[in-house]
Amino acid sequence: MTIKKAKAKTTPALAEADQWTLIPTPVGEMMAGGDEESLHFLHLPGSFDARGLDPDRRGAPAAVAAATEQLEAYFRGELTRFRLPLDPAGTEFQRRVWWALADIPYAATESYGALAARVDNPRACRAVGLANGRNPIPVVLPCHRVIGADGTLTGYGGGLALKQRLLEHERRVASSGTGRRRAS
Give catalytic residue positions: 143
Rounded CA separation 108/136 (Å) = 21
Q: Output DSSP code: residue 58.
A: B
Beta strands in the chain (DSSP E): 19-23, 30-34, 39-43, 110-111, 146-147
Closest listed residue to residue 166, CA positions, set 150, 184, 182, 143: 143
Q: Output DSSP code: residue 143.
A: G
